[in-house]
Amino acid sequence: MTDTPPDRRPPEFGGERLLVIGTGAIAAMYLPFWLNWLTTAYRTLEVQVVLTSSAARFVSAQALSVLVRREVVMDRWPEENRPDALHVRLTEWSDSVVVYPACVNFISRLALGLADTPALLTLQCTSAPIAVAPSLPPGAMDNPTLQRHLATLAERRNVVVSPVRAVTSLTTGRRDAAGAPPLSTLIGMLEELRGSLSGEGARMTEGVRTAEGVRTAEGSRTAEAEAV
């Protein structure tokens, strides 16, 4: 599936530590291009890449490590004993997440609540904003089961699912595949979600302060009544 270059001006993005999860869609072959754009457009942004084993068929983990100046994490449980848990480390480190590209298998497992790999468990546990970019083969978008999975993900308050666009399948040569948008578009959607979640957090905090104020005032009135 083919891709297009990003917009000239990158969208504003306030995240500081971005977790990029690449899955087994063939569009993973474009990750070097997009990570180069990402680190150029946002020079202070820290990026950690996680690759599934199927994504590693299309792109080199070593090449991505050079681009983000950080070792790529493979989406499998470490064989050696460690004092910490990989999914907890990824969850606590990242303040924003993109799944780019998101293949049919990964989307379905995520929507079903499965957590049998570090990436999936991270996504099930994090409260950070997550942007999911489906990249689908011909015919997949017509599958009602996949449609339900995408709808399920979109219902999560911290998840945004990008719309797909018609792209040329590298297999059929026809424009019958459903491609992810440019990463620049996804970053804009992620920033919008970040702002929305920040607003919700501020309202929740204000609500707690208001409730505490009401309780304090009621306690004062009760104390005054007892004193009388």
For residue 131, list its beta bridge partners.
Answer: 98, 160
Question: What angle, 0 to 180 degrees and rounded to 10, lies between the N-to-C axes of helices 118-125 and 104-111?
Answer: 50
How many angstroms separate the first and last alpha carbons of the chain?
Answer: 79
pLDDT of residue 150: 98
* Mean pLDDT, rounded, for 80-86: 86
Closest CA to 131 of 159, 91, 111: 159
Cα separation, 33 vs 93, whole angstroms: 24
* Mean pLDDT, rounded, for 134-153: 98
* Mean pLDDT, rounded, for 4-23: 86
Q: Identify which has the larger pLDDT, 218 or 109.
A: 109
pLDDT of residue 226: 52
Banded pLDDT at 101 (limits 50, 70, 90): very high
Q: Identify which has the larger pLDDT, 206 or 184.
A: 184
Prediction pTM value: 0.85
Q: Write out pLDDT tens, residues 191-212.
A: 999 999 988 765 555 554 555 5
**CA 215 → CA 63, 209, 220, 222, distances in Å?**
58, 10, 9, 10
List the structure tokens of 83: 């004092």
* Mean pLDDT, rounded, for 60-89: 94
Q: Which residues contact 103 (CB under 8 A, 6 or more apart)?
A: 23, 24, 25, 54, 135, 136
Q: Write out pLDDT tens, residues 21-53.
A: 999 999 999 999 999 999 999 999 999 999 999
List the structure tokens of 123: 């996504």
Q: Write out pLDDT tens, residues 146-164.
A: 999 999 999 999 999 999 9
Q: Strands 96-102 and 165-167, how do they pair?
A: unpaired
Q: Strands 96-102 and 130-134, how do they pair?
A: parallel
Q: Strands 177-179 and 159-161, how do they pair?
A: unpaired
* Mean pLDDT, rounded, for 57-79: 96
SS3 of 52-96: CCCHHHCCCHHHHHHHHCCCCEECCCCCCCCCCCHHHHHHHHCCE
